[in-house]
Structure 1
Amino acid sequence: MPQTEHQLIFQNVQSDHLRQWFAETLAAYPELLPHPIYLRKVAMRYSTMRAQPVINWGFFRRAHRHYRVDFSNHLEVTVHVKVRELPREVVVGWFAHELGHIVDYLDRPWRGMIAFGLGYALWSRYMREAEKRADSIAVDHGFGAEVLATKRYLINHATLPKHYKKRLRKYYLSADEIEALITAYEEEGEMPDIVEI
């Protein structure tokens, strides 16, 4: 009998609306059904949100891999971006982007995941292509408007530090690029070509 519900685990997430929004967003990613997915609130000093595989025995076999989306509770980050207080459209766009990363991880063997992590950490072009791919996957899953809302919110949010906005502009697609991606998707009826990494 095919699995019809996601295996969703919340860790340190007290907000009912964040739990609901994440579950609703995840429901649009049927390819993630076989994998346990965690949403965790953890201390991250330099990021607000990230998606990664869980490092356990399942990591070495793609079919048994677990994945997690983490969001920060670190004071230095949350003084500027309190995820639980953001508008629904912005949070859903962010979740859709992070789940896009996980979809991108699905076919990578464990050695490929390690190479991906090194490439992401060491080469800005590699990181930018990974972020573009995550956005493209989110758009392909019907979250174009939400991803666009997230980009606009983060760039236009007055209290974000300059270094954070500079990083956003350097590594992530702009609102204009997201709009072009949405238009291309709507015209072609499928996800546009993306550079493979």
Structure 2
Amino acid sequence: MTTPNDNLYFQNVQSPLIREWFAETLARYPELHNRPIYLRKLSMKRSTMRAQPIINWSFFRRATRHYRVDFSDHLDVTKHVIVQDLPKEVVVGWFAHELGHIIDYLNRPVLGMISFGLGYALWSRYMRKAERIADTIAVEHGFGDEVRATKAYLLQHATLPFNYKRRLNKYYLSADELEGLILAWEQEQNIPEVVDIEE
């Protein structure tokens, strides 16, 4: 099913809120407005969300490549947290991170995408770099607060598995690194810093 944006498609996504939040997030990535983008819900064994190019004939030309963001309700993390029950800010931060991956993919040729996939699957340093790039792109598109909210929620959620939290700490930007990126982006955008005034 398509949305009013003819390049955005939903597969097995029943929640109107999830559809709305994803469309709102995608709207702030103008580089993707002319790309076919799919949001699909399915069962995944090793991921909560992931962003990938779609392997079809369009895959072989960067200008026509299609992309998909998958999310699951059937993982260890989502046995404790149902995605559509999360606060909007947390879900949007998650979507912004995944769309950051797609921005990273845009200029990669076919061999570059294949080497990326192999590197991500085989080397933790490669995975760490890719996840940090996606976070950085999300912040550069104005989603710093949302990415921060996503990480804070997941790390502070008492019932989430320890291994999941350890993975977050290992591969993604630390809280301090994220704060530094957000501050730098705000200064670049000339956004005034909020100062608490004690009465």
TM-score (norm 2): 0.90
SS at match of 2:80: coil
Which protein has the larger Cα radius of gyration, Structure 1 or Structure 2?
Answer: 2
Task: Tell me, yes or no, if the aligned pair for 1:90 and 1:149 is still in contact at 8 Å.
Answer: yes
Which amino acid counterpart does residue 29 of structure 1 have in structure 2? Y
Moved more, 61-70 or 72-81: 72-81
* Equivalent position of 1:159 in the other structure: 159
SS at match of 1:79: helix
SS at match of 1:73: coil
Task: Tell me, yes or no, if the aligned pair for 2:44 and 2:75 is still in contact at 8 Å.
Answer: no
* Equivalent position of 1:150 in the other structure: 150
| Aligned pairs for 1:169-180 within 5 A | 169-180=169-180
What are the Cα deviations for residues 109-164 of structure 1, in whole angstroms up to 9, with x where unaligned? 01100100111111111111111111111111110100000010111111110111
Is the alpha carbon distance of 1:54 and 1:48 closer, same or farther for their aligned partners in structure 2, counting shifts above 3 Å?
same
Is the alpha carbon distance of 1:144 and 1:75 closer, same or farther for their aligned partners in structure 2, counting shifts above 3 Å?
closer
**Distance of 1:5 and 1:114 partners within structure 2:** 29
Task: Tell me, yes or no, if the aligned pair for 2:40 and 2:69 is still in contact at 8 Å.
Answer: yes
RMSD: 1.6
**Distance of 1:12 and 1:176 partners within structure 2:** 37
Q: Displaced runs of 4+ in structure 1, greater than 3 A?
A: none
Give 5+ residue unaligned stretches, structure 2. Answer: 191-199
Query: How far does residue 180 in structure 1 lie from its aligned partner after superposition?
Result: 1.1
Q: Name the count of aligned residue pairs.
A: 187
What are the Cα deviations for residues 146-188 of structure 1, in whole angstroms up to 9, with x where unaligned? 0000010111111110111111111111222211111122234
* Equivalent position of 1:15 in the other structure: 15
* Equivalent position of 2:30 in the other structure: 30
Which amino acid counterpart does residue 126 of structure 1 have in structure 2? Y
| Aligned pairs for 1:69-148 within 5 A | 69-74=69-74, 76-148=76-148
TM-score (norm 1): 0.90
